[in-house]
C-alpha cells in the first residue's frame, strides 16, 4: 500500500537527481549497486553496535536509490529484464542486511533473545513474501496481494528503530517487529491462496 502511495511523490522529488546522474554518465545499474552497498554498510556497521538511529540515517540516505535507478532507466530508455533482475535481487540483500543487523545486535550486545528471534522471523518471512510472488510469476501466475509489501516493512522497521533507539524503548521496536512478522506470515498465506485459486481455475491442481 505504501509502495503505491509513495511512488508518484518520490518520483517527482527524485527526478532531478536522476536526471543529473544521467547527465554525468552514471548508469542505473551503478546506482543500484551503490545504493545496496550503502544500505548494507548502514545496517551491518551500526546496528550490531547498538547505534540504531545512526544506522537508520545512513540507510535512509541510500534506500531511495531503489527509486532513482528506476527513474533513470525509464528516462534513458534502458529499462530491461537485466536491470529488473538486478534491482530485485539486490533489494533482497538490502532487506536481509537490515533485519540481519538487528539480529546481530540483539543476539550479541543487546542481549535479548526474544528481540533477536523476532528480527530473525521478519528476515525469514520477508524473504518468503518476495519468493512467493517471484515463484508465482515464474510459473505464469500472479501474486500481487498482501498486507505487508516491501515498502511497508521497510518504513515500519526503520522509523520504529530510529525512535526506539532515541527513546530507549526496546518494547516499541519489539511490538513492531512482532506485528511485521505476523503481517508477513499473513501475506505469504494470502499469496499462496491466490496462486492456488488460479491453479484450480487452470486445472493445475488435483482436487
For 145-197, the pLDDT digits (tens) are 988 888 888 999 999 999 999 999 999 999 999 999 999 999 999 999 999 99
Residue that wins the pLDDT comparison between 2 and 28: 28
For 105-155, how does the pLDDT look when each residue is reduced to its tens digit (9 = 90+)?
A: 999 999 999 999 999 999 999 999 999 999 999 999 999 898 888 888 899
On whether residue 83 sits in a domain, the answer given is: yes
On whether residue 206 sits in a domain, the answer given is: no
Residue that wins the pLDDT comparison between 205 and 198: 198
Instruction: Indicate whether 46 pLDDT > 70.
Output: yes
User: In whole angstroms, what is the distance from residue 135 CA to residue 139 CA?
Assistant: 6
For 81-107, how does the pLDDT look when each residue is reduced to its tens digit (9 = 90+)?
A: 888 899 889 999 999 999 999 999 999
What is the structure's pLDDT at 198? 95
On whether residue 152 sits in a domain, the answer given is: yes
On whether residue 91 sits in a domain, the answer given is: yes
CATH at 126:
1.20.120.1760
Domain that holds residue 185: 2-201
On whether residue 49 sits in a domain, the answer given is: yes
DSSP class per residue in the chain: -HHHHHHHHHHHHHHHHHHHHHHTT--HHHHHHHHHHHHHHHHHHHGGGT-HHHHHHHHHHHHTHHHHHHHHHHHHT---HHHHHHHHHHHHHHHHHHHHHHHHHHHTTT--HHHHHHHHHHHHHHHHHHHHHHHHHHTT------S--HHHHHHHHHHHHHHHHHHT-HHHHHHHHHHHHHHHHHHHHHHHHHHHHHHHHTT-S--
* Of 156, 139, 138, nearest in space to 147 by CA: 156
Global confidence as pTM: 0.89
2 confidence band (pLDDT: 50, 70, 90): very low
Of the residues 69, 87, 91, 95, only one is catalytic, namely: 91
Decide if 144 is catalytic.
no
5 confidence band (pLDDT: 50, 70, 90): low
What is the structure's pLDDT at 8? 66
CB 62 within 8 A of CB 33: no
Count of domains observed in the chain: 1
On whether residue 207 sits in a domain, the answer given is: no
What is the structure's pLDDT at 49? 96
Amino acid at each position: 500500500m505504501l509502495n503505491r502511495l509513495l511512488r508518484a511523490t518520490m518520483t517527482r522529488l527524485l527526478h532531478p537527481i536522476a536526471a543529473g546522474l544521467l547527465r554525468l554518465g552514471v548508469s542505473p545499474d551503478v546506482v543500484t549497486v551503490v545504493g545496496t552497498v550503502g544500505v548494507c554498510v548502514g545496517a551491518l556497521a551500526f546496528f550490531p553496535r547498538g547505534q540504531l538511529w545512526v544506522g537508520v540515517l545512513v540507510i535512509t540516505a541510500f534506500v531511495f536509490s531503489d527509486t532513482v535507478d528506476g527513474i533513470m532507466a525509464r528516462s534513458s530508455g534502458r529499462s530491461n529484464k537485466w536491470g529488473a533482475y538486478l534491482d530485485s535481487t539486490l533489494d533482497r540483500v538490502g532487506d536481509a542486511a537490515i533485519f540481519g543487523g538487528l539480529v546481530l545486535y540483539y543476539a550479541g550486545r543487546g542481549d535479548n533473545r526474544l528481540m533477536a528471534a523476532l528480527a530473525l522471523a521478519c528476515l525469514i518471512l520477508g524473504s518468503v513474501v518476495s519468493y512467493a510472488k517471484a515463484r508465482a510469476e515464474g510459473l505464469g501466475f500472479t501474486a500481487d496481494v498482501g498486507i505487508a509489501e516491501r515498502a511497508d516493512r521497510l518504513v515500519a522497521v526503520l522509523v520504529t528503530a530510529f525512535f526506539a533507539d532515541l527513546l530507549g524503548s526496546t518494547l516499541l521496536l519489539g511490538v513492531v517487529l512482532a506485528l511485521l512478522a505476523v503481517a508477513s506470515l499473513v501475506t505469504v498465506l494470502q499469496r499462496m491462496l491466490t496462486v492456488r485459486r488460479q491453479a484450480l481455475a487452470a486445472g493445475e491442481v488435483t482436487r
